[in-house]
Structure 1
Amino acid sequence: MSDTVSDNSIDLSAPEYYFNREISHLQFNIRVLEQALDDSHPLLNRLMFLCIFSSNLDEFFEVRVADLKKQMAFSREIPGPDGTPPSEVLDQIYQLASETTERQYNILNEYLLPELEKENIRFIRRSDWNEKQTKWAKQYFRDEVQPVISPIGLDPAHPFPRLVNKSLNFIVELDGKDAFGRNTGMAVIPAPRSLPRISRFPDEICDGGDNYVFLSSMIHQFADELFPGMKVKGCYQFRLTRNADLSFDKEDVSDLASALEGELHARHYGDAVRLEVADNCPEPLWQFLLDKFNLTYQDLYQVNGPVNVHRLMSVAIGAERPELRYPTFTPSIPKGLKGSSDVFAAIRKSDQLLLHPFQSFTPVVDLVRSAAQDPDVLAIKQTLYRTGATSEIVNGLVEAARKGKEVTVVIELRARFDEEENLHLANRLQEAGCVVVYGVVGYKTHSKMMMIVRREGKKLKRYVHLGTGNYHAGNARLYTDYSLITCAKDLTEDVHKLFQQLTGMGKALSIKKIYHAPFTLHKSLLGLIAEEAKNAKEGKPARITIKVNSLTEPKIIQALYKASQAGVQVDCIVRGMCRLVPGIPGVSENISVRSIIGRFLEHTRVYYFENNDSPKVFASSADWMERNLLNRVETCFPIENAKWAKRLREELDLYLSDNCQSWQLQRDGRYMKNEPLEGEERISAQQVLLESLSA
Structure 2
Amino acid sequence: MPQAPQLLCRESSLLAFNRRVLAQAEDPRIPLLERLKFLCIVSSNLDEFFEVRMAYLKREWRNQPNLRFDSGNTPAETIAQVSTEVRELVAKQYQLFNQILLPELAQHGIHFYRRKQWTCEQQEWIEDYFNRELLPLLTPIGLDKTHPFPRLLNKSLNFVVELDGRDAFGRASGMAIVQAPRILPRVVRLPENLCGGETGFVFLSSIVHEYVYKLFRGMTVKACHQFRVTRDSDLTLEEDEFTNLRTAVQSELRDRDYGDAVRLEVVDNCPAHITEFLLQQFDLTENELYKVNGPVNLVRLMSVPDMLALPDLKFPPFKPYYSKRLRKAHSILDEISKRDILLHHPYQSFEPVVRFIEDAAKDPDVLAIKMTIYRTGSTSKLAQALLAAAQAGKLVTVVVELMARFDEANNVQWARRLEEAGAHVVYGVFGYKIHAKMALVIRRESGSLKSYAHLGTGNYHQGTSRIYTDFGLLTTQRDIVRDVNNLFMEITGLGQANKLKKLYQSPFSLHPMLLKNIEREIAHAQAGKPARIIAKMNALLEPTIIDALYRASQAGVQIDLIVRGMCALRPQVIGLSENIRVRSIIGQLLEHSRVYYFYNDGAEDVYIASADWMARNFFRRIETATPIEDPDMKQRVIQEGLMLALSDNTKAWQMDGSGQYTRIQPQDGGEVLDLQTYLLNQFNCQ
In the alignment, is the contact (CA less than 8 A) between 1:15 and 1:81 conserved in 2? no
- Write the deviation string for residues 123-171 of structure 1: whole angstroms up to 9, x where unpaired: 1111111111111111111111111111111111111111110000111
**Distance (Å, rounded) in 2 between the aligned partners of 1:432 and 1:41:** 47
CA apart distance, 1:209: 1.8
Task: Determine whether 1:147 maps to 2:125.
Answer: no
Task: Determine whether 1:482 maps to 2:482.
Answer: no
Equivalent of 1:87, from 76, 101, 113? 76
Matches within 5 A, 1:23-42: 23-42=12-31
CA apart distance, 1:335: 5.7
CA apart distance, 1:227: 1.1
Aligned to 1:100: 89
Aligned to 1:224: 213
Aligned to 2:456: 467
**Distance (Å, rounded) in 1 between the aligned partners of 2:76 and 2:378:** 41
- Write the deviation string for residues 323-357 of structure 1: whole angstroms up to 9, x where unpaired: 21111111112465242223222112211111100
Aligned to 1:575: 564
3-state SS, counterpart of residue 466 of structure 1: strand
Task: Determine whether 1:209 maps to 2:198.
Answer: yes
- Write the deviation string for residues 229-249 of structure 1: whole angstroms up to 9, x where unpaired: 111111110000011111121
Over 3 Å off, 4+ runs: 75-78
Aligned to 1:296: 285
- Write the deviation string for residues 250-286 of structure 1: whole angstroms up to 9, x where unpaired: 3433211111111101111111111110111111111
In the alignment, is the contact (CA less than 8 A) between 2:608 and 2:626 conserved in 1? yes
Aligned to 1:657: 647
3-state SS, counterpart of residue 451 of structure 2: strand
**Distance (Å, rounded) in 2 between the aligned partners of 1:584 and 1:336:** 50
In structure 2, runs of 5+ residues without a counterpart are none
- Write the deviation string for residues 640-676 of structure 1: whole angstroms up to 9, x where unpaired: 0111111111121110111111111111211111111
**Distance (Å, rounded) in 2 between the aligned partners of 1:669 and 1:551:** 13
**Distance (Å, rounded) in 2 between the aligned partners of 1:251 and 1:29:** 38
**Distance (Å, rounded) in 2 between the aligned partners of 1:396 and 1:318:** 32
Distance 1:664 1:251, change over 3 A: farther
RMSD: 1.3
Aligned to 2:657: 667
Q: TM-score, normalised by structure 2?
A: 0.98
Equivalent of 2:440, from 435, 443, 451? 451
Distance 1:342 1:258, change over 3 A: closer
Question: What is the one-letter code of the residue matched to 2:653?
Answer: W
Question: What is the one-letter code of the residue matched to 1:672?
Answer: T
**Distance (Å, rounded) in 2 between the aligned partners of 1:481 and 1:43:** 27
**Distance (Å, rounded) in 2 between the aligned partners of 1:405 and 1:15:** 59
Aligned to 1:556: 545
Deviates more, 1:326-335 or 1:241-250: 326-335
Aligned to 2:601: 612
Deviates more, 1:154-163 or 1:572-581: 154-163
Distance 1:77 1:243, change over 3 A: farther
CA apart distance, 1:203: 2.1
CA apart distance, 1:77: 5.0
**Distance (Å, rounded) in 2 between the aligned partners of 1:332 and 1:524:** 34
In the alignment, is the contact (CA less than 8 A) between 1:544 and 1:610 conserved in 2? yes
CA apart distance, 1:76: 5.3
Task: Determine whether 1:239 maps to 2:239.
Answer: no
Matches within 5 A, 1:36-115: 36-75=25-64, 78-115=67-104
Distance 1:463 1:77, change over 3 A: farther
Task: Determine whether 1:378 maps to 2:384.
Answer: no
In the alignment, is the contact (CA less than 8 A) between 1:389 and 1:428 conserved in 2? no
3-state SS, counterpart of residue 246 of structure 1: coil
Aligned to 1:426: 415
CA apart distance, 1:515: 0.4
Matches within 5 A, 1:206-355: 206-334=195-323, 336-355=325-344
Distance 1:660 1:318, change over 3 A: same
In the alignment, is the contact (CA less than 8 A) between 1:238 and 1:276 conserved in 2? yes
In the alignment, is the contact (CA less than 8 A) between 2:65 and 2:76 conserved in 1? no
Deviates more, 1:387-396 or 1:451-460: 387-396
Equivalent of 2:682, from 671, 684, 692? 692
Deviates more, 1:147-156 or 1:57-66: 147-156
Question: What is the one-letter code of the residue matched to 1:689?
Answer: L
**Distance (Å, rounded) in 2 between the aligned partners of 1:240 and 1:257:** 28
- Write the deviation string for residues 441-497 of structure 1: whole angstroms up to 9, x where unpaired: 000000000000011102111000000000011110010000100101111110010
Task: Determine whether 1:637 maps to 2:621.
Answer: no
Task: Determine whether 1:517 maps to 2:506.
Answer: yes
- Write the deviation string for residues 503-552 of structure 1: whole angstroms up to 9, x where unpaired: 11111111000000001000111001110010111112210000000000
Deviates more, 1:385-394 or 1:49-58: 385-394
- Write the deviation string for residues 409-465 of structure 1: whole angstroms up to 9, x where unpaired: 000000000000100000111111111000000000000000000111021110000
Question: What is the one-letter code of the residue matched to 2:352?
Answer: P
Distance 1:526 1:336, change over 3 A: farther
In the alignment, is the contact (CA less than 8 A) between 1:383 and 1:447 conserved in 2? yes
**Distance (Å, rounded) in 2 between the aligned partners of 1:128 and 1:151:** 27
Question: What is the one-letter code of the residue matched to 1:324?
Answer: L
Question: What is the one-letter code of the residue matched to 2:157?
Answer: L
In the alignment, is the contact (CA less than 8 A) between 1:61 and 1:243 conserved in 2? yes
**Distance (Å, rounded) in 2 between the aligned partners of 1:168 and 1:79:** 36
Aligned to 1:129: 118
In the alignment, is the contact (CA less than 8 A) between 1:550 and 1:576 conserved in 2? yes
Question: What is the one-letter code of the residue matched to 2:98?
Answer: N
Deviates more, 1:585-594 or 1:338-347: 338-347
**Distance (Å, rounded) in 2 between the aligned partners of 1:557 and 1:352:** 33
Query: Identity of aligned pairs, percent?
Result: 52
Q: How many pairs does the alignment contain?
A: 683
Aligned to 2:522: 533
Question: What is the one-letter code of the residue matched to 1:253?
Answer: F
Distance 1:78 1:425, change over 3 A: farther
3-state SS, counterpart of residue 40 of structure 2: helix
CA apart distance, 1:189: 1.1
Equivalent of 2:183, from 177, 194, 202? 194
3-state SS, counterpart of residue 321 of structure 2: coil
**Distance (Å, rounded) in 2 between the aligned partners of 1:449 and 1:394:** 14
- Write the deviation string for residues 339-379 of structure 1: whole angstroms up to 9, x where unpaired: 22232221122111111001000000111111011111111
Aligned to 2:384: 395
**Distance (Å, rounded) in 2 between the aligned partners of 1:550 and 1:694:** 30
Aligned to 2:108: 119
Q: TM-score, normalised by structure 1?
A: 0.97
Distance 1:437 1:76, change over 3 A: farther
Equivalent of 1:16, from 1, 5, 10? 5
**Distance (Å, rounded) in 1 between the aligned partners of 2:322 and 2:290:** 48
3-state SS, counterpart of residue 476 of structure 1: helix
3-state SS, counterpart of residue 222 of structure 2: strand
3-state SS, counterpart of residue 424 of structure 1: helix
- Write the deviation string for residues 294-324 of structure 1: whole angstroms up to 9, x where unpaired: 1111111111110000110110222222221
**Distance (Å, rounded) in 2 between the aligned partners of 1:628 and 1:76:** 26
Deviates more, 1:659-668 or 1:313-322: 313-322
**Distance (Å, rounded) in 1 between the aligned partners of 2:624 and 2:4:** 31
3-state SS, counterpart of residue 635 of structure 2: helix
- Write the deviation string for residues 169-190 of structure 1: whole angstroms up to 9, x where unpaired: 1111112222222222211111
Equivalent of 1:507, from 493, 496, 499? 496
Deviates more, 1:215-224 or 1:344-353: 344-353
